[in-house]
């Protein structure tokens, strides 16, 4: 155990020389009366990952972390205090009208040549990191039947086709009882369509439909074409069964076996690292997220981009307060304007529900030392590294270029994961401070802990411990390279992540901002 006892050496992390608060590193926190090596003496007991101020902060004075103002003191805060949420007034969100657009674009990094992984090439040019039989659905009415069939496929058919990794039902709650022509209905519809095209499903999925539902199979299978093509060999409609449930199961099993035979013939081949499409997100964050795990992801992201890959970051409510740091990094003014467009759409979406981005932080985030969404955002965007931002995707849109992409999604773990799968991600990385067993069925999920204590408590759920950065046992650069190599090994199937090992899968959770009927 490499935990740091507070009795030995009280430790803190200062992130930016402009900061007037530091974060306590010791696993048990530090008691009142602790003297740090910079002479600051704590006047409160301060838990791990919480903030202590280095100077007296007057009422109304800024509290600064990451070199940015995360709040204003509601009353004078004497030096050495535990600086927590109830002492702070949150700043207003930055205005979207006067942002720096593409004003500070980072240069391209030196190309990284020669890195590869073993993947499955698809007919559409994408590459899968897994070889999965996907069975998509147009409507929730078919879920029970399909789950029954999938259980039998997994038990009876899958063992006969050892080159196929899994069978996954893409079940969801959309498809009928919805206002299908409402303004925002394109989001769930294109998400269902693009999920079926995920590279890990071999570029095509079976489609199971009921028959009478609003979302017709044609809309799922072909963009902009609602007419159902009954001759499509990969489509089955339950209402076409003339002999009840058992015929439905037999039909689905037969289709699945035809497809399994095809998938089983596929073999991994060596492909350049540029074929990786990595989706990044965080969940159950704490004040260490922005110090350890997210900077390590940022470093690895810069490496992947130098190798020509596609890297996506997301979570609108967790970038909103730091948007001025992203619009300036956009490769072109158009990309910057697309970022602003997505922020503006989300502001209006939240306003409809009389909410704003402050609804994001959870009790666990606060317990983990994150006072508000401003502090959380500044730690969240560190995942995006230091490269130029090359593109923006709307929710459910499919990525069609390489580079660093902002994929606009809610921050909700399952919704973000689902939308990144629809965007075409073939590998997912997830940082967590509080801990979550989150996993996805369609892509491997690499779990990175922000603290060593969590990695020790959950050794069979956490793949990489970034807490080593806080305790000085590894640098951000070390962890960045470790992640980079781990990504390639997992992509190649040489390593399995823990959630894959145990098949821990969250449901596909569609983002549907449109009305249901
Ligand atoms: Ca999240």
Residue 465: CA atoms inside 13 Å, Cβ hemisphere, count? 20
For residue 93, give Cα distances in angstroms to 69, 141, 206, 315, 462.
Answer: 12, 42, 44, 16, 34
Q: With residue 20 as reference, give the H or E element that holds it.
A: none
Side-by-side strand order, sheet with 269-272 = 127-128, 116-121, 269-272
How much distance in Å is there from the Cα of 12 to the middle of ligand 1? 26
Q: How far is the CA of 395 from the centre of ligand 1 (A)?
A: 14
Is there a shared CATH topology between the 1-92 domain and the 124-264 domain? Answer: no
pLDDT tier at 2, thresholds 50, 70, 90? low
Q: What is the pLDDT of residue 286?
A: 87
pLDDT at 193 over 80: yes
**What pairing do the DSSP bridges indicate for beta strands 391-393 and 403-407?**
parallel
- Report how far ligand 1's centroid is from the alpha carbon of 315 (Å): 6
Assess contact for 443 and 200: CB atoms under 8 A. yes
| CA–centroid distance, residue 380 to ligand 1 (Å) | 10
Residues 83, 88, 92: CA angle, nearest 5 degrees: 140
pLDDT at 226: 64
Phi/psi-derived region of residue 144, left when phi > 0, alpha when psi is between -120 and 50, beta in every other case: alpha
Phi/psi at 489 (5° precision):
-65, -40
CA of 34 to the centre of ligand 1 (A): 35
What's the average model confidence in pLDDT over 70-96? Answer: 95
Nearest CA-CA partner of 213 in 135, 146, 139: 139
Residue 4: the pLDDT is 52
Cβ contact 171:138 at 8 Å: no
Report CA(215)–ligand 1 centroid distance (Å): 28
What helix, strand, coil percent values describe the chain, rounded to 5? Answer: 35, 20, 45
Q: How many whole angstroms from 322 Cα to the centroid of ligand 1?
A: 16
Architecture of domain 124-264 in CATH? 3-Layer(aba) Sandwich (3.40)
pLDDT average, residue stretch 497-517: 95
Mean pLDDT of the chain: 94
H or E segment at 294? helix 293-306
| CA–centroid distance, residue 164 to ligand 1 (Å) | 30
CA of 345 to the centre of ligand 1 (A): 19
Give the model's confidence band at 358: pLDDT under 50 very low, under 70 low, under 90 confident, else very high.
confident
> Contact at 8 Å (CB) between 195 and 508?
yes
**Pick the residue with more confidence: 362 or 230?**
362
The CA 282 to ligand 1 mean position distance, Å, reads 5
Q: Where are the domains of the chain?
A: 1-92, 124-264, 271-502
Residue 391: count of CB within 10 angstroms of its CB: 22
- For residue 280, give Cα distances in angstroms to 111, 125, 355, 470: 22, 22, 25, 21
How remote is the CA of residue 283 from the centroid of ligand 1, in Å?
Answer: 4
Is the per-residue pLDDT at 359 higher than 70? yes
Mean pLDDT of 174-189: 94
- For residue 293, the CA-to-ligand 1 centroid distance in Å is 14
Neighbour order of strands in the sheet with 310-313: 391-393, 403-407, 310-313, 277-282, 427-432, 445-449, 464-465
C-alpha 43 – ligand 1 centre gap (Å)? 34
DSSP code string of 303-343: HHHHTT-EEEE--GGGTGGGHHHHHTTBSSHHHHHHHHHHH
Report phi then psi at 455, rounded to 5: -60, -35
Q: Where are the alpha helices (DSSP H) in 31-99?
A: none
Q: Could you tell me the distance, in angstroms and rounded to a whole number, from the CA of residue 391 to the centre of ligand 1?
A: 20
Query: 282 to each of 138, 206, 313, how far by Cα in Å?
Result: 30, 31, 10
Ligand 1 centroid to 179 CA: how many Å?
27
The number of residues making up the chain comes to 517
Residues 309-332: tens digit of each pLDDT: 999 999 999 999 999 999 999 999
What is the CA(244)–ligand 1 centre distance, in A? 42
Asked if 102 and 324 touch (Cβ cutoff 8 Å), the reply is no
CA of 360 to the centre of ligand 1 (A): 10
Q: How far is the centre of ligand 1, averaged over its atoms, from the C-alpha of 431 (Å)?
A: 9
Distance (angstroms) between ligand 1 centre and the Cα of 281 equals 6
Q: How far is the CA of 420 from the centre of ligand 1 (A)?
A: 11
| Whole-number pLDDT of residue 3 | 53
CA of 89 to the centre of ligand 1 (A): 24
pLDDT for 403 equals 98
33/107 Cα distance (integer angstroms): 47
pLDDT in tens, 423-481: 999 999 999 999 999 999 999 999 999 999 999 999 999 999 999 998 888 999 999 99
Q: 25-68: per-residue pLDDT in tens? A: 888 899 999 999 999 999 999 999 899 999 999 999 999 999 99
User: What's the confidence (pLDDT) of residue 1?
Assistant: 43
Q: For domain 1-92, which architecture applies?
A: Roll (2.30)
270 Cα to the center of ligand 1, angstroms: 32
- Which string of DSSP letters, residue by residue, matches 338-384? HHHHHHHHHHHHHHHTT--GGG---HHHHHTT--SHHHHHHHHGGGG
Q: What is the pLDDT of residue 6?
A: 45
- Is beta strand 127-128 parallel, antiparallel or unpaired with respect to 88-89? unpaired
**Distance of CA 42 from the midpoint of ligand 1 (Å):** 33
Residue 75's CB: how many other CB atoms inside 10 A? Answer: 10
Integer-rounded Cα Rg, in Å, for the chain is 24
Percent of the chain scoring above 90 in pLDDT: 84
Residue 499 Cα to ligand 1 middle (Å)? 17
225 has a pLDDT exceeding 90: no
Alpha carbon distances (Å) from 26 to 23, 68, 99, 294, 369: 10, 24, 38, 19, 13
DSSP for 214-274, written as a single string: SS-HHHHHSTT--S--TT-TTEEEGGG-SSHHHHHHHHHHHHHHHHHHHHHT---EEEEGG
Distance from Cα 168 to the centre of ligand 1, integer Å: 23
Q: Is the pLDDT of residue 218 over 90?
A: no
Buried b (16+ CB within 10 A) or exposed e, 56-65: ebeeebbbbb
Q: Per-residue pLDDT for 241 more than 70?
A: yes
How many whole angstroms separate alpha carbon 506 and alpha carbon 135? 16
Strand partners, 279: 312, 428
Give distance in angstroms: CA of 382 to centre of ligand 1.
Answer: 14
What's the pLDDT at 8?
Answer: 59
pTM for the model? 0.94
CA of 411 to the centre of ligand 1 (A): 4
Instruction: Give residue 467 CA to ligand 1 midpoint distance, Å.
Output: 19
Task: State the average pLDDT over residues 76-88.
Answer: 95
CA 316 to ligand 1 center in whole angstroms = 10
Ligand 1 geometric centre to CA of 444 (Å): 16
CA of 422 to the centre of ligand 1 (A): 16
By percentage, how much of the chain surpasses pLDDT 70?
Answer: 97
pLDDT at position 228: 63
Distance 365 CA to ligand 1 centre (A): 12
Q: Which helix (H) or strand (E) holds 206?
A: strand 206-209
CA torsion 435-441-444-450 (nearest 10°) is -10
């Amino acid at each position: 155990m490499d935990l740091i006892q507070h009795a030995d050496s009280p430790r803190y992390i200062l992130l930016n020389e402009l900061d007037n608060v530091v974060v306590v590193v010791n696993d048990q926190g530090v008691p009142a009366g602790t003297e740090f090596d910079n002479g600051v003496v704590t006047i409160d007991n301060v838990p791990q990952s919480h903030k202590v101020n280095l100077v007296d902060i007057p009422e109304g004075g800024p509290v600064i972390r990451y070199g940015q103002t995360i709040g204003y003191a509601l009353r004078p805060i004497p030096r050495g205090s535990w600086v927590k949420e109830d002492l702070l007034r949150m700043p207003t969100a930055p205005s979207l009208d006067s942002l720096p657009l593409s004003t500070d674009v980072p240069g391209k990094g030196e190309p990284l040549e020669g890195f590869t992984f073993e993947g499955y090439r698809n007919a559409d040019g994408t590459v899968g990191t897994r070889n999965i039989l996907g069975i998509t659905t147009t409507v929730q009415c078919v879920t029970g039947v399909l789950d029954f069939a999938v259980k039998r496929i997994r038990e009876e058919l899958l063992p006969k086709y050892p080159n196929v990794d899994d069978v996954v039902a893409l079940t969801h709650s959309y498809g009928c009882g919805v206002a299908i022509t409402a303004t925002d209905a394109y989001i769930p519809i294109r998400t269902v369509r693009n999920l079926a095209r995920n590279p890990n499903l071999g570029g095509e999925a079976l489609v199971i439909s009921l028959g009478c539902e609003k979302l017709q199979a044609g809309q799922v299978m072909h963009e902009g074409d609602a007419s159902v093509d009954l001759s499509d060999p990969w489509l089955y409609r339950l209402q076409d069964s003339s002999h009840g449930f058992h015929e439905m199961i037999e039909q689905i099993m037969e289709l699945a076996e035809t497809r399994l035979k095809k998938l089983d013939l596929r073999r991994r081949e060596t492909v350049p690292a540029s074929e990786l499409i990595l989706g990044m997100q965080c969940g159950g964050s704490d004040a260490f997220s922005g110090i350890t795990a997210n900077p390590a992801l940022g470093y690895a992201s810069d490496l992947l981009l130098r190798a020509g890959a596609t890297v996506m970051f997301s979570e609108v409510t967790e970038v909103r307060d730091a948007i001025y740091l992203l619009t300036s990094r956009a490769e072109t003014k158009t990309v910057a304007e697309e970022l602003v467009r997505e922020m503006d759409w989300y502001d209006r979406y939240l306003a409809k529900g009389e909410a704003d981005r402050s609804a994001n932080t959870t009790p666990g985030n606060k317990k983990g030392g994150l006072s508000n969404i401003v502090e959380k955002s500044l730690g969240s965007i560190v995942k995006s590294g230091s490269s130029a931002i090359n593109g923006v995707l709307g929710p459910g849109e499919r990525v069609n270029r390489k580079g660093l992409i902002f994929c606009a999604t809610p921050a909700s773990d399952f919704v973000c994961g689902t939308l990144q799968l629809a965007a075409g991600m073939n590998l997912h990385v997830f940082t967590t401070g509080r801990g979550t067993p989150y996993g996805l069925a369609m892509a491997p999920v690499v779990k990175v802990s922000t603290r060593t204590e969590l990695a020790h408590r959950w050794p069979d759920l956490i793949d990489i411990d970034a807490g080593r950065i806080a305790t000085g046992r590894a640098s951000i650069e070390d962890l960045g390279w470790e992640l980079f190599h781990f990504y390639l090994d997992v992509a190649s199937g040489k390593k399995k992540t823990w959630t894959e090992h145990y098949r821990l899968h969250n449901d596909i959770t569609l983002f549907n901002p449109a009305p249901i009927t």
